Amino acid sequence: GRAVAIKVLPEEFAADAARLQRFEQEARAASALNHPNIITVYDVGSVDHISYLAMELVEGKSLRELIDHGALPVRRTLDLAVQIADGLAKAHDAGIIHRDLKPENIMISADGYVKILDFGLAKLIPLAGDDGRTAVKRDSTAGTLLGTAGYMSPEQASGDKVDFRSDQFSFGTILYEMASGMRPFRRATAAETLTAIIREEAERLDPSVPAPLRWIIERCLAKDPDARYASTKDLARDLKSVRDHLSDVAPALKPARSRLRVGSTLIVTGALVLIAAAFIAGRRTVSVVPPAFQQLTFRRGTIWNARSAPDGRVVYAAAWDGGPSTIFVESRSLGVSDADILAISRSGQMLVSLHRHNTGPFQRAGTLAQMAVDGSTAPRELTNDVREADWSPDEKEIMVVRDVGGHSRIELPIGHVLYETAGWVSNARVSRNGSRVAFLDHAILNDDGGSVGVVDRSGMKRMLSGQYQTLNGLAWSPRDEVWFTGSKEGANRALYVAEGKSEDRLLLRVGGSLTLQDVTGDGRAVVVQDVFRMRLFSSRNGEKEHELSWLDWSLAGDLTPDGKEVVFSEAGEGGGAGYSVFIRNTDGSPAIRLGEGIGMAFSPDRQWVVAIVHSGSIGEVALFPTRAGMPRKISTPGL
């Protein structure tokens, strides 16, 4: 004989053989998973009308005994949380839901191992018809609810049908209590507790709790099951990432991954940088620790895209020193040239773009292919003419952006159009629960101004931000917020959170321009710090080129027939809000600013320059005099 623990089941269960059989099947099924964090059940039976459960004996304490003394240290909380999430994920993958997860049902052995008890016990209390709904029934003791009111999910408390995400809510409640020493929805009576679970938000955790852990708890405690994790495996993975980077995130978080990126046909240099995420700690913290930076690359060239791999490493595509675009895992080349990285799945499968080529200003396309992030498999081509792509969370679908018939469109899955525009879209990314796609919506072709939008699976689109003069870079945060980089004036982009209001929340501004590439599971931002310049040259009859660049982003508009004068625009930081129109003699004499806008062409007599004003929207057409005179606006109804 081995020593076992005996649990006696409530008397009323013995009278219902069908219910007892269902419980036995589910308890044995959970035990048969043979997971180190799930208790082993040896026998379910009855003696003299007393039903019992014979299970593995765990010498230790329940989680209730531990947290009754107050909040646990962060490291201890994460160590236990990872084990609980691992056990739940294993059960959920097998289709088994706990339904009564609470600190009393979690044992901690003397050597620190977690064991989850009582899988299937809550299913002994179904509603009529056994459709999976949760019965909220009173015990003979006033105020006691079967199912443990304080740890129910909103759908349980409402008597609705539940799935594995109900366990995630219960787990979030437990995590909250482990981190704070307080129950998030505890009220004077069970009825008030259930009302709080259904209708009220938990009080914000103290800022001393690392921000990534707070975000995980908040996501688990979302009232809408769709806003929780699409898979408990993802929840466990996020907790492991926070635990493994605890020195980086506590007490004041550490740098995030960032990347430098330079685009189009510019003279540029770029560097990958890790930006410490202390500033991410949130809008509600009392004090904000300035972010730290860790540069990851040190060569001259263009960094196109960068993504964070499941193991925390950074994968990026760069064209160093004038060479072809090559995919790297940190400093190691994967040997894939003329390619770009578009997405990495949670299991480590990459979506890459082969034979990448420019299709217009700010836009590139190629052949979509799939390969392993470690380079162990060769790219397998999937479809052509794709500008961007991303995985759905379950890796069963792929989202793509491509141009068809003069329109830019988002497809999810491939072939199913969610959104289409006569402008163009960029930086499209699937949300962490797979229900939405966020993207940058550019109203005007060949211009990177625009706003942040989101479209759901039904094709319903809404805007999350106002208008920005330049936008490039977008990703979903662990809290399912949309982060992006943009600037309302000039070219130096800063990092924002799209609030869906008139003012977006600023996360970080630096001296220079940022392009957001990704946000890791523990809340670190992968960015590129851009160093770029658009240069303007002129040459006559094969003579040596003469540089006519004026500020940082000189865009040619028109040249007079004799080649003596050029109209151009400054569309970068130096051009200011709305850009600036200049004319300049090709002999190198100083440029003359005519006004705000994009300079397009000289009039035949050279007395006027036609320009588009306010290029970030539909805009107006204006005439600027090249000599003395006043600007004129041109009416363009219907244009």
Predicted pLDDT at 131: 44
> CA nearest 326: which of 346, 363, 309, 301?
301
Predicted pLDDT at 53: 76
Structure tokens at 635: 């009416």
Residue 137, classified by CB atoms within 10 Å of its CB into exposed (0-12), middle (13-18) or buried (19+), is exposed
Terminus-to-terminus CA distance in the chain, angstroms? 89
Predicted pLDDT at 577: 75
Residues in the chain, pLDDT under 50? 122-147, 248-269, 277-288, 615-617
Predicted pLDDT at 615: 47
**φ and ψ at 121, to 5 degrees?**
-65, -40
Encode 96-161 in three state secondary structure: CCCCCCCHHHEEEECCCCEEECCCCHHHHCECCCCCCEECCCECCCCCCECCCHHHCCHHHHCCCE
Structure tokens at 567: 């109209």
Q: What is the C-alpha to C-alpha distance for residues 555 and 312, in angstroms, rounded to an integer?
A: 39
Q: Which residues, in sequence order, are CB contacts of 538 under 8 Å at separation 6+?
A: 545, 546, 548, 559, 563, 566, 586
**φ and ψ at 451, to 5 degrees?**
-145, 170
Coil, strand, or helix at residue 581?
Answer: strand
Checking DSSP bridges between strand 525-533 and strand 513-519, what pairing results, if any? antiparallel
Note the Cα 514 to chain centre separation in Å.
17
Q: Which residues, in sequence order, are CB contacts of 266 under 8 Å at separation 6+?
A: 532, 533, 534, 535
**φ and ψ at 378, to 5 degrees?**
-75, 155
Residue in the block written with tokens 């005996």: 6
Q: What angle do CA 448, 454, 456 make, to 5 degrees?
A: 145
pLDDT digits (tens, 9 = 90+) for 487-512: 998 788 999 999 876 689 998 888 78
Predicted pLDDT at 267: 40
Q: Which residues, in sequence order, are CB contacts of 589 under 8 Å at separation 6+?
A: none
Q: What is the pTM of this model?
A: 0.51
DSSP letter at 572 equals S
What average pLDDT does the chain have? 82
Type of residue numbered 542: G
**φ and ψ at 190, to 5 degrees?**
-65, -40
Q: What angle do CA 516, 252, 427 make, to 5 degrees?
A: 10
Coil, strand, or helix at residue 612?
Answer: strand
Residue 148, classified by CB atoms within 10 Å of its CB into exposed (0-12), middle (13-18) or buried (19+), is buried
Predicted pLDDT at 67: 93
